[in-house]
Amino acid sequence: MKNGQTESLLSPASNTRRDILKWAALASAPVSFSLSMAQTPLRHNPFSLGVASGSPNHHSVVLWTRLMPELASGNSQFATSDVSVKWEVADDDGFKVNRRTGQVVAMAALAHSVHLELDQLLSDRWYFYRFQIGDAQSTVGRTRTLPHPEAVVQKLRVAYASCQRWEHGYFSAYDHMCQENLDMVLFLGDYIYEYAGAANAVRLPTGGWVNSLSDYRDRYALHKSEKGLQAMHAQCPWLITWDDHEVSNDYAGLERGQSGNISIDFAAQRARAYQAFYEHMPLRASALTRAIEGLATGAEMRIYGEVAYGKLANFYLLDDRQYRDRQVCNKGFGYGSGWVDPDQCEAWLDPKRTLLGMPQEKWIDQSFAKARNDQRTWNVLAQQTLFGRRDYKIGEGYYLWNDGWDGYSSARQRLTQSMQNQALKNPVLIGGDVHENWVGHVMADAYKDGSAKIGVEFCGSGITARSAGNSKLAARLAENPHFVFADSERKGYGVVEFTAKQIQTELRVVDDVRQQQTKIETLAKFSVEAGVPQINRLA
């Protein structure tokens, strides 16, 4: 593309919403020209939100940052202008070995976020990167490409995390995650919370309920101001999906949830939330399937997908919010979620109801079919919530939460049937959402405790979001024997180490999220041998 053509695309006259997809594509690519930028020293650090990388494959990765205005005045030397940002990538943190450099556009229309899709990289390689504007330089980030899909891989270390609510505590778990020597992080939803506050809050978020685009941007900026979170983003690439609080508590597709101003046009609110999510995550421009304008008309933002880690593992990143049917049998037909007796809910087993949407269900079945041929050792479903049945009624009958897989029984059965039909090797489901650690077996039939074990499940506690405590947990475990461990008190993350022979999972928890400085310990440790869907407790 000639420089003149590129500059005309970014001229003020073309700043309409229909151009934003073109902008996103342009902003993701290295460029060889320079747009206007401050020539005098900047009065502040525009990289206060840090750097991040994500969406990796064996030859490419997305590098992210966002330029921030001056916090004190709300003004900036580049507040309404598109800005060229210098980037550097090298094999070493001194930027001496195999250094590459260029410029990328930070679009004012996209909150001056940068999504540099760096391609033609060597596979299975660590890289260092940083950004610069004027005399201001970002922190140095470290990222990696994945092994070639046909490469034999000895080991992979992955952490999983979710549910980081500002009011409930400090994100100190990330300080410890930085010491785990990870290859990748799976973030499984609720990166922000849209709430205005909480009872007995450890700290309060700035602003009230999140509704407008600026509200969402400010809430992401607040969460990203946590230094431990920034440091972990700078350690390695992340695979990221969302849950409900990135938009509104318990929302379902284009149906509103339970929080915020119910008089607001929810479709418009969801579009604003999705835009802000894109602006703050290391996602590819292709996620915006029909541009920002498309989001405003209910178009999808495609965040589900798959990636191979050599011959060791397939990762499937799911989206269970954007395409789901509305929850059923709430009292008074209210929005959002609730506890339901399925025997009193005629719609509970409706075979047409879906959590993932039929196109995504078809995609995952086709992906399982391909996995049957590629014969990778592990097949990992990174998704939002608890998969196995969790019955809260002791004795006969059921009492189930209708917002997760329990509320979409037919959809869950289709997924487990697909695993069996395609002879999926070693399924491992990893989730979040429920603010509790649950470890168990994936059953061929969730309602039959004696059915075959076809996989394993690890559902994480969340970084800070509160839970109910352990007083009734023993009885609940006895009621749901497919689970072998649960904890409803401690907060933290999980670490899974994959080899060709086994996986080992450690539940890592901090002592008190209400404190900025915390200690870390292993709450429990488990192993699963390849070819045997049986969880073994190690500690």
Average pLDDT over residues 100-119: 95
pLDDT band at 78 (very low <50, low <70, confident <90, very high): low
Stretch among 68-77, 79-88, 461-470, 502-511 having the lowest mean pLDDT: 68-77
3-state secondary structure of 236: coil
Is 17 in a helix, a strand, or coil?
A: helix
- Structure pTM? 0.93
Mean pLDDT of 107-112: 93
Tokens of 137: 């330089």
Structure tokens at 81: 């202008």
Mean pLDDT over each residue of the chain, to the nearest integer: 91
Q: Please compute the mean of the pLDDT values over residues 300-329 and round it to a whole number.
A: 97
Nearest C-alpha neighbor of 23 from the set 215, 336, 278, 274: 278
Q: Stretch 124-133: mean pLDDT, rounded? A: 97
pLDDT of residue 20: 47
Q: Which of 412, 336, 382 is nearest to 494 (CA)?
A: 382
Confidence at 316, pLDDT banded by 50, 70, 90:
very high
pLDDT band at 17 (very low <50, low <70, confident <90, very high): very low
> Strands 313-317 and 305-309, how do they pair?
antiparallel
Q: How far is 539 from 536, CA to CA, in rounded Å?
A: 9
Please tell me which residue, 5 or 289, carries the higher pLDDT value. 289
What is the pLDDT confidence band of residue 30, given thresholds at 50, 70 and 90?
low
- String of b and e for 23-58 (b: at least 16 CB within 10 Å)? bbbbbbbbbeeebebbeeebebebbbbbbbbbbbbb
Residue 531 has pLDDT above 60, yes or no: yes
Token representation of residue 141: 């980030």
Structure tokens at 225: 């101001």
pLDDT at 250: 96
Percent pLDDT > 90 in the chain is 83
In this structure, of 61-65, 204-208, 396-400, the range with the lowest mean pLDDT score is: 204-208
Tokens 């933002």, located at residue? 301
- Residue 3 above 60 pLDDT? no
**Rounded to an integer, what distance in angstroms lies between the CA atom of residue 455 and that of residue 404?**
19
Predicted pLDDT at 191? 98
Distance CA 280, CA 221 (A): 8
Residue 89 pairs in a beta bridge with: 100, 129
> Higher-confidence residue: 50 or 79?
50
Secondary structure tally for the chain: helices H, strands E: 10, 24
Q: Round to whole Å and give the CA distance between 433 and 241.
A: 12
Q: Give the per-residue pLDDT at 260.
A: 73
Mean per-residue pLDDT, 159-181: 98
What's the burial of 525, exposed, middle or buried (CB within 10 Å: 0-12/13-18/19+)?
A: middle
Please report, to the nearest 10 degrees, the dihedral formed by the alpha carbons of residues 341, 344, 346, 347 taken in order: -30
Q: What is the mean pLDDT of residues 377-400?
A: 97
Residues 482, 498 contacting (CB under 8 angstroms): no
Q: What is the average pLDDT across 101-122?
A: 95
Out of 68-82, 167-181, 254-268, pick the least confident: 68-82
Q: How far is CA 73 from CA 45, 185, 323, 473, 511, in A?
A: 14, 35, 41, 50, 38
pLDDT at 34: 42
Q: Please write the tens of the pLDDT for every residue from 469-508.
A: 999 999 999 999 999 999 999 999 999 999 999 999 999 9
DSSP string across 341-379: -GGG-GGGG-TT--SS-HHHHHHHHHHHHHHHHH--SEE
Q: What pLDDT is recorded for position 26? A: 56
Number of Cβ within 10 Å of residue 414's Cβ equals: 19
- Please give the torsion angle defined by the CA atoms of residues 106, 109, 112 and 113, in that order, rounded to the nearest 10 degrees: -80
Report whether pLDDT(403) > 90. Answer: yes
Query: Of all residues in the chain, what percent carry a pLDDT higher than 70?
Result: 91
pLDDT score of 323: 97
Mean pLDDT of 522-529: 98
In this prediction, residue 22 carries a pLDDT of: 52
Please list, residue by residue across 443-470, b when 16 or more beta carbons sit within 10 angstroms of its beta carbon and e when fewer do. Answer: bbebeeeeeeebbbbbbbbbbbbbbeee
Tokens of 271: 């579009």
Residues 357 and 423: beta-carbon distance below 8 Å: no
218, burial (CB in 10 Å: exposed 0-12, middle 13-18, buried 19+): middle
Dihedral sign (CA 372, 373, 377, 379): negative
Contacts of 165 (CB under 8 A, 6+ apart): 190, 193, 195, 198, 245, 462, 464, 465, 466
CB burial of residue 66 (10 Å; 0-12, 13-18, 19+): buried
Give the list of residues 6+ apart from residue 377 with CB closer than 8 angstroms, or none. 311, 312, 313, 425, 426, 498, 500, 530
> Which residues does residue 528 pair with via DSSP β-bridges, in sequence order?
503, 535
Alpha helices, H only, 236-320: 266-280, 291-296
Question: What is the torsional sign of CA 441, 442, 446, 452?
Answer: negative
93, two tokens: 């943190």
Which of the residue ranges 27-31, 91-95, 180-184, 443-447 would you say has the lowest mean pLDDT?
27-31
Average pLDDT over residues 425-447: 98
All structural domains of the chain, each given as residue ranges with its CATH number in brackets, are 1-145 (2.60.40.380), 146-537 (3.60.21.70)
Q: Name the DSSP class of 298.
A: T
- Angle (nearest 5°) at CA 442 between 436 and 446: 95
pLDDT for 328 equals 96
